[in-house]
Every structure is written in structure tokens, then in C-alpha cells.
């Protein structure tokens, strides 16, 4: 390899690194600006001074309740949930090498939803127990899907197909529980099922934050190995990656993130699915896009929730907005993927 070629490669690497850093910074900046706007705007619009005052612990009449009790938990949980879905989605998509293989499409979210709906409607539970049960059930469902799709060589296509089958079964269980539920509980359950940040309180935040930080870090740290997995099973093995262990750790973290976020907010449609491809678009290929995906996820949830609350005459849960925003993109992606033979 000639020296100039080497310099070119170096340039390429540092260029990609610069692009990654710039993109991440811009995303963070956007989220920060949006967060401030979300804290300021609502039924009453408070100036930024009041927001800062409330955040630093002062008691301002009216504003302390509106910002501290209503808007801040909503903002923080939206942020966390979005990041969780972003991390999880990008992990699944990279491992299965298929942008469509996000947890919301292959049945992992449905697993957590069944458990959560069962806890909410049948057992009348809430809080930590619901999260815990959803995580366990989400893990069980993913393990089942993974086990069933083994046999011979690992095939992403088979896993997706089996995931869709499992999801169909789980959805029938959800429909059944909704049908048998008390009529007064149904609107609440439906709202939760379409993904909503309505019922957030400050109590939910610490454990959600812990989960996102811990499992998000695992996802970022293993991101390098994930890139090698992206090269394909054989190449990864020859590069010295313990593929099965890496895959299990990564999928495990992704499932915990999905299940926890789902238990808190309900399955917010398409966030997991959209974050990865958008982040990849922004940072380009060649760098791990776990963190950018998480940021994109957070941004999506915050924007959608803002639209759902204020932009339309009626208040719609965030999941409905992400669903409607995501649908055209999904169709577009499908068409593009099929054209290049990516899904087959």
C-alpha cells in the first residue's frame, strides 16, 4: 500500500470520527433546546428565568407545580424512554442485519406489553413490579424466539418470521384481556398500549435512569464488537469476536431496555425502528451508531409528545404521533430495501 493511500485512509477515518462527534453534539444541542422549550411551554408559558429558578430548587407559586410535578417528569421520562428504545432498536437492527428487525416489529415489545397489561388490568399492580415482570417476560419471549429460530445456521430471516408468529399469539392474548376488562379500565389500557407519557411521576425517573445508563453503557462498550458482527458471522469469528456471547449480552441489554421502557410508557410505535436508520444516515457508516441512535430516539419521543400535546386540537398519546410519522418512512424504507434485495 502506498504512503499516499495510507494517508487517504487515515483522513477517511478521522473524517468519519469528526462527523460522528459533530453529529452527536448537534443532536445533544437539539435535545437541550427542545427540553427547555418543553419546560417553558404548556397551559401557562413561563419565562426561562422561572424555569431555571424552579430547577434550582426555589419555590415559585404555580410554576413549581406545573414545571416540577408535571413537565419535568414527562420530559425526563420521554428522554429516557426514547434513549432506551433507540439503543435497543439499533442493537437489534445491527445484529440481525436488517433495519426492519427492531423489537417493536419482531415481537419483543409485544412480550413486555402482555406482561404489563396483565399486571395493570388483572392484578391492579403498578410501578416497579410491573417493570420487573415485563423485563422477565420480555427476556423469556426473546429467548423463546431465539431458541426457535436456531437449528442449522443462524438465520435472521427465520428469526423475524418466528417473531411475527409469536407476536400474533401475544396480541391475541392482549385483545382477550382488553375484552374481558372492566369498561372503565379500557381507555387507560388502550392509551398505555399506544404509548403515552401521561402518567409519569418523579418516582419513576431514578430507576428508569439507572437502567438506561447501565445497559446503555454496555451497548456502547460492546458497540465495537457489534461493528465486527456487522461484517458477517464468519469474518467476526476470524477477527476473534466471541460472536454468541456478544450477541447474547447485546440482545439481553436491548431486551431489558425495551421491556423497562415499555413497562413505563407503553410500546411507543416505531421509535426503536426509526432511530437506527436515521442515526446511520446522520453519522454515516463505519462508526458505531448506538449513542446517536439513542439520541435520535429521545429527540423523536420529545418532538412527538410535544406535537401530540399541543399541535393538534385534541391531545393524542405520543405513540400515535410516532406511529403516524413513522409509517410513511417505514413504507419508503421497505421499498428501498426490497429494491436492493436487502430484506430477502
Residues that bind other proteins in the complex, under the rule CB under 8 A:
100, 104-105, 148-149, 151-153, 155, 157-158, 160-162, 164-169, 171-173, 175-176, 178-180, 183, 186-187, 190-191, 193-194, 269-270, 314, 316-317, 319-320, 322-324, 326-327, 330-331, 334-335, 337-341, 343-344
CB of 247 to other proteins, least distance (A): 17
Identity of the residue, 78 or 107, whose beta carbon is nearer to other proteins in the bound complex:
107
Identity of the residue, 222 or 274, whose beta carbon is nearer to other proteins in the bound complex:
274
CB of 304 to other proteins, least distance (A): 11
Which residues, including other chains, have CB under 8 Å from residue 203's CB and lie 6 or more apart?
127
d(CA 111, CA 37): 35
Q: Among residues 262, 257, 334, which one has the least CA distance to residue 90?
A: 257
CB of 344 to other proteins, least distance (A): 5
Residues 322/268, Cβ–Cβ less than 8 Å = yes
Give one DSSP letter per residue of 9-69, joined into a string. HHHHHHHHHHHHHHHHHHHHHHHHHHHHHHHH-SSSPPPHHHHHHHHTT---TTHIIIIII
CB of 154 to other proteins, least distance (A): 9
Identity of the residue, 259 or 330, whose beta carbon is nearer to other proteins in the bound complex:
330
Indicate the DSSP class of residue 70: I
d(CA 26, CA 289): 14
CB of 90 to other proteins, least distance (A): 18
Q: What are phi and psi of 152, to 5 degrees?
A: 75, -150
CB count within 10 Å of CB 17 equals 12
CB of 303 to other proteins, least distance (A): 16
Identity of the residue, 177 or 249, whose beta carbon is nearer to other proteins in the bound complex:
177
d(CA 156, CA 88): 16
Indicate the DSSP class of residue 152: S
Identity of the residue, 59 or 150, whose beta carbon is nearer to other proteins in the bound complex:
150
C-alpha cell at 142: 426473546
Identity of the residue, 2 or 234, whose beta carbon is nearer to other proteins in the bound complex:
234
Identity of the residue, 63 or 116, whose beta carbon is nearer to other proteins in the bound complex:
116
CB of 265 to other proteins, least distance (A): 14
Q: What is the dihedral of CA 340, 341, 342, 344, to 10 degrees?
A: 170
Amino acid at each position: 500500500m502506498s504512503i499516499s493511500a495510507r494517508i487517504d485512509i487515515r483522513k477517511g477515518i478521522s473524517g468519519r470520527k469528526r462527523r460522528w462527534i459533530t453529529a452527536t453534539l448537534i443532536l445533544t444541542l437539539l435535545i437541550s433546546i427542545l427540553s427547555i422549550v418543553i419546560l417553558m411551554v404548556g397551559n401557562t408559558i413561563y419565562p426561562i428565568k422561572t424555569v431555571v429558578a424552579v430547577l434550582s430548587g426555589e419555590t415559585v407559586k404555580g410554576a413549581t407545580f406545573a414545571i416540577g410535578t408535571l413537565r419535568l417528569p414527562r420530559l425526563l421520562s420521554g428522554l429516557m424512554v426514547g434513549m432506551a428504545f433507540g439503543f435497543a432498536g439499533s442493537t437489534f437492527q445491527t445484529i440481525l442485519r436488517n433495519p426492519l428487525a427492531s423489537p417493536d416489529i419482531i415481537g419483543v415489545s409485544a412480550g413486555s406489553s402482555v406482561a404489563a397489561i396483565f399486571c395493570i388490568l388483572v392484578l391492579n399492580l403498578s410501578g416497579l413490579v410491573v417493570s420487573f415482570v415485563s423485563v422477565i417476560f420480555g427476556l423469556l419471549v426473546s429467548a423463546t424466539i431465539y431458541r426457535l429460530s436456531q437449528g442449522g445456521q443462524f438465520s435472521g430471516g427465520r428469526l423475524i418470521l418466528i417473531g411475527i408468529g409469536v407476536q400474533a399469539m401475544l396480541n391475541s392474548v392482549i385483545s382477550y384481556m382488553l375484552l374481558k376488562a372492566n369498561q372503565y379500565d379500557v381507555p387507560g389500557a388502550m392509551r398505555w398500549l399506544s404509548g403515552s407519557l401521561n402518567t409519569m411521576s418523579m418516582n419513576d425517573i431514578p430507576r428508569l435512569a439507572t437502567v438506561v445508563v447501565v445497559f446503555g453503557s454496555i451497548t456502547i462498550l460492546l458497540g465495537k464488537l457489534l461493528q465486527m458482527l456487522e461484517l458477517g458471522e464468519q469474518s467476526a469469528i476470524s477477527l476473534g469476536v466471541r460472536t454468541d456471547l456478544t450477541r447474547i449480552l447485546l440482545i439481553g441489554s436491548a431486551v431489558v431496555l425495551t421491556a423497562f421502557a415499555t413497562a413505563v410508557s407503553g410500546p411507543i410505535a416505531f421509535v426503536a425502528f426509526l432511530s437506527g436508520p436515521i442515526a446511520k444516515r446522520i453519522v454515516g457508516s463505519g462508526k458505531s451508531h448506538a449513542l446517536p441512535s439513542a439520541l435520535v430516539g429521545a429527540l423523536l419521543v420529545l418532538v412527538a409528545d410535544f406535537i401530540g400535546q399541543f399541535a393538534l386540537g385534541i391531545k393524542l398519546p405520543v405513540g400515535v404521533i410516532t406511529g403516524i410519522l413513522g409509517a410513511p418512512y417505514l413504507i419508503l424504507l421497505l421499498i428501498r430495501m426490497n429494491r436492493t434485495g436487502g430484506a430477502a
